Structure 1
Amino acid sequence: MARKLPLDELSTVIARIQGLLLTEEKVDRAVQLLARAIKDSVTGATGAGVSILDSRGRRTSSASTDQTVTRADALQYDLGQGPCLTAWATEETVAVRDIATDPRWPDWTAAVKDLPIRSVISTPLLAGQECIGALKIYSDHAGAFGEDAARVLELFAGPTATLLANIQSSEAPHRISEALAASLHSRDLVNQACGILMQRHCLTADMALAELMRRARRQNSTLGQISADLLAGIPAVSD
Structure 2
Amino acid sequence: MTNNAGDEAALHLQDLLMGTENVEDFLGRLAEFSAAMLRQATGAEIECGVTLQRRRKTMTVTGSSPRAVVLDRIEQSMGDGPCIEALRTKSVVLLADVATDPRWPAYQEHLAAHGCRSTLGVPLEIGPDATAALNFFAPSTGVFTQGVINEAAGFADLAGRSLRLAVRIGIAQSRAEDLQAAMEHRTSIDLACGVIMAQNRCSQEEAMGILTKVSSNRNQKLRDVAADILRNLTGGDVHTHFDG
* Distance verdict in 2 for CA 1:37–1:171, change over 3 Å: closer
Q: Work out whether 1:95 is the aligned partner of 2:94.
A: yes
Contact 2:52 2:130 in 1 (8 A): no
Query: CA-to-partner distance for each residue in 1:20-75, whole Å, 9 max, x for gaps?
Result: 466xxx1221112111211221222421222222121322x622122332111101
Match of 1:6 in 2: 5
Match of 1:55 in 2: 55
Corresponding letter in the other structure for 1:75:
I
Matches for 1:1-239 after TM superposition, within 5 Å? 5-7=4-6, 10-20=9-19, 26-42=22-38, 43-44=41-42, 45=44, 46-59=46-59, 62-127=61-126, 132-169=131-168, 171-173=171-173
How far off is 1:18 after superposition?
Answer: 3.2
Secondary structure, counterpart of 1:6 in structure 2: helix
Secondary structure, counterpart of 2:30 in structure 1: helix
From the CA coordinates, give the structure whose radius of gyration is larger: 2
Give 5+ residue unaligned stretches, structure 2: 175-244
- Between 1 and 2, higher relative CO (CA 8 Å, sep ≥ 6) is seen in 1
Percent identity of paired positions between Structure 1 and Structure 2: 23
Secondary structure, counterpart of 2:147 in structure 1: helix
Q: TM-score, normalization: structure 2?
A: 0.60
RMSD: 2.5
How far off is 1:128 after superposition?
Answer: 5.7
CA distance in structure 1 between the partners assigned to 2:173 and 2:99 by the alignment = 43
How far off is 1:161 after superposition?
Answer: 2.0
Secondary structure, counterpart of 2:87 in structure 1: helix
Secondary structure, counterpart of 1:111 in structure 2: helix
Aligned residues: 167
Give 5+ residue unaligned stretches, structure 1: 175-239
How far off is 1:153 after superposition?
Answer: 1.0
Secondary structure, counterpart of 2:12 in structure 1: helix
Which 4+ runs in 1 deviate beyond 6 A? Answer: none
* Distance verdict in 2 for CA 1:10–1:173, change over 3 Å: farther
